[in-house]
Amino acid sequence: MTGVSVDEAMRRAIELAARGLGTTSPNPVVGCVLLDAAGQVVGEGFHAYAGGPHAEIVALAQAGERARGGTAVVTLEPCDHTGRTGPCSTALINAGVARVVIAVPDPDPVATGGAETLRAAGVRVDVGVRADEAEAGNVAWLTSVRRGRPYVIWKYAATLDGRAAAADGTSMWITSEASRIDVHALRGTVDAVIAGVGTVLADDPRLTARNLRDGSLAIRQPLRVVVDSAGRTPLDARVRDGAARTWIATGKEVGFDPAGRVDLTALLAALHERGIRAALLEGGPRLAGAFLAAGLVDRVVGYVAPRLLGAGPAALVDAGVGTITEAIDLDVTDVTQIGPDLRITAVPRKRES
């Protein structure tokens, strides 16, 4: 029987890792495939939730003695520290694994070192197989660890001519129900949803992850964050309804920037300290502009409806662009039709320093 190549096994491990999106924070998503000495798959696993068994431990439990002399294929370098669980590097050594194939090294200074420990024990270690794919699948956690702040996704909805609302301020609903369902699924993959107090005052949103068919709440709710420099969020606002945790982030608590608004860099640092690794920035256009001007947006997800308004508030304002040469260039990574709308995903292009 023909065995499985490490490249094929890594592709499967990346698929497994994705099953943990939205439930593992503040831990990474990780997938693992164990091959026996003949190259046959004898164990699979993924990290399902923070505090639960790591991907390698799940795969080793499936494999049992068949792991001895085999190969562990894992999307992230096995951890080398004892936290809520023991070090995976030691578990792999004790199981008699002969080779470990890693996609991405662990940038966390607390957990890194697994590869070195494995090599010191005589285990062959290879790094870099399908690294780009594994990096993309774990981009929020990796970005957060490397930068000390959450990975920020700016989500907006607009008409084809870039309007977020009509001239009279009405905006329900610019995009289709299919797009709104997709947004709620996106909320379910992040740790926090951020909106400005202006959006709260104008729209009184819930900012929860829900099933729009029956209105039921998702089991896991992101932290609701209202950026409110002067503490204007009403006591009866729906973001205070108890359906999910809420933080009214005021300038007094977080700190002010030179313009007298909430310091966004300090805000993200505070969220990182709270265990937030991925955040969805939802409103409004002025707050989004401030995040973009500060270089704090990592991904843009735009839902564009095939409608025209010709007037009304723009989806984005005050992004620090004064002339065409200062435009924030994006690299489009995906365009998908959602009902009648288009969902465009893009990442800001790195600027020359």
Cβ–Cβ < 8 Å for 33, 9:
yes
What pLDDT score was predicted for residue 88?
94
**3-state SS class at 226:** strand
- From the list 94, 91, 105, the residue with the least C-alpha distance to 45 is 91
- From the list 157, 164, 220, 156, the residue with the least C-alpha distance to 194 is 156
Q: Which amino acid, residue 171?
A: S
Tokens of 310: 């010709």
- Report how far residue 240's alpha carbon sits from residue 234's, in angstroms, rounded to the nearest whole number: 9
Query: Identical fold at 6-143 and 149-348?
Result: no
What pLDDT score was predicted for residue 1?
53
- Report how far residue 268's alpha carbon sits from residue 278's, in angstroms, rounded to the nearest whole number: 10
What pLDDT score was predicted for residue 351?
64
- From the list 86, 80, 4, 75, the residue with the least C-alpha distance to 42 is 4
Task: List the CATH code of the domain at 149-348.
Answer: 3.40.430.10
- From the list 158, 159, 212, the residue with the least C-alpha distance to 181 is 212
Tens-digit pLDDT profile for residues 107-153: 988 778 899 999 999 999 999 999 999 999 999 999 999 999 999 99
- Please list, in sequence order, all residues whose beta carbon lies within 8 angstroms of the beta carbon of residue 222, skipping any fewer than 6 positions away: 187, 188, 190, 191, 192, 193, 209, 244, 280
What pLDDT score was predicted for residue 3?
81
Prediction pTM value? 0.89
**Is the bond preceding 113 in cis, omega lying within 30 degrees of 0?**
no
Cβ–Cβ < 8 Å for 207, 178:
no
Cβ–Cβ < 8 Å for 252, 227:
no
Cβ–Cβ < 8 Å for 269, 251:
no
- Report how far residue 142's alpha carbon sits from residue 162's, in angstroms, rounded to the nearest whole number: 32
Mean pLDDT of 306-333: 94
Tens-digit pLDDT profile for residues 316-329: 999 999 999 999 99
- Segments making up each domain of the chain, as ranges: 6-143, 149-348
Catalytic residue positions? 56
DSSP conformational letter for 108: -
CATH class of residue range 6-143: alpha beta
CB-count exposure of residue 214 (10 Å: 0-12, 13-18, 19+): exposed
Question: CA–CA distance from 88 to each of 10, 30, 92, 100, 121 (Å)?
Answer: 18, 12, 6, 11, 13
Tens-digit pLDDT profile for residues 194-213: 999 999 998 899 999 888 77
